[in-house]
Amino acid sequence: MSDARTATGIDPYQLGHQQRHKRQYNAEHASRGLASKRIITGYGFWIFLLSDIIMFAAFFATYAVLSSATAGGPTGRQIFDIDNTAIETSCLLASSFTCGLASIGAERHRDSWFYGAMGITFILGATFIGLEIHEFAGLVKQGAGPERSAFLSAFFTLVGCHGLHVTVGLLWLLTMTAQVFAKGYRADVLRRILCFTLFWHALDIVWVALFTVVYLIGIT
């Protein structure tokens, strides 16, 4: 049976777990074929996100190794402003929530729900980026820029890389809003919205690791 399936090219890698249904194969799966495009797209993007998280893990490992290499410069305890981090964290958490609401709005084809939630997500994400740029500018101004010590280089690389991801996410958010505006809730647009929400939630997960490892453990 599996030979026949490979030969016909319907599910050569058995992505759809179809072993269970072997007997019904001819009747059912000839019409179903591969798993739907939404599942394959989502799974592929999931693999990308995991590899992105592995890249972040490399930056985390670098930071953890270098966090005490301050070269006589300022330590984390002296330069981190935890109140600022708390505001950033609540912005990103709330934006993750509104992003989820936007994805429901898109699936139900509710314009006000989708545009409203996307708008709030954008404002919260932009606030996050604004606060981060403000923090970075302040650090560079007081002579604690990335060139000061290995610790600060690792800090700017790790936090800056996350900030860059959020910036790209904001551009993607605007693109998706424009696509829904221009093309409506088509299946391909909905698949892109699925990928965007996955991306945004994954950034929030990275931020959880980041504020814990860098900021909270940094000041204790």
Min dist. Cβ of residue 41 to another protein (A): 7
Min dist. Cβ of residue 82 to another protein (A): 7
CA distance 194 to 191: 5
**Residue 41 makes contact with another protein by CB under 8 A:** yes
**Nearest residue (CB) to another protein, 66 versus 139:** 66
Segment interacting with another protein (CB under 8 A) among 36-44, 135-143, 151-159, 160-168: 36-44
Min dist. Cβ of residue 46 to another protein (A): 4
Min dist. Cβ of residue 141 to another protein (A): 26
The answer to whether 123 touches 99, Cβ cutoff 8 Å, is: no
SS (H, E, C) the chain: CHHHHHHHCCCCCCCCCHHHHHHHHHHHHHHHCCCCHHHHHHHHHHHHHHHHHHHHHHHHHHHHHHCCCCCCCCCHHHHCCHHHHHHHHHHHHHHHHHHHHHHHHHHCCCHHHHHHHHHHHHHHHHHHHHHHHHHHHHHHHCCCCCCCCHHHHHHHHHHHHHHHHHHHHHHHHHHHHHHHHHHCCCHHHHHHHHHHHHHHHHHHHHHHHHHHHHHHHHHC
**Residue 133 makes contact with another protein by CB under 8 A:** no
Interacting residue with another protein among 4, 30, 93, 178 (CB under 8 A): 93
Q: Residues touching another protein: how many (CB under 8 A)?
A: 58
**Residue 7 makes contact with another protein by CB under 8 A:** no
Min dist. Cβ of residue 187 to another protein (A): 4
**Nearest residue (CB) to another protein, 85 versus 177:** 85
**Residue 62 makes contact with another protein by CB under 8 A:** yes
The answer to whether 131 touches 88, Cβ cutoff 8 Å, is: yes
Query: Which residues 191-210 are close enough to bind another protein by CB under 8 A?
Result: 191, 194, 197-198, 201-202, 204-205, 208-209
Interacting residue with another protein among 54, 71, 171, 182 (CB under 8 A): 54
Segment interacting with another protein (CB under 8 A) among 88-96, 125-133, 147-155, 166-174: 88-96
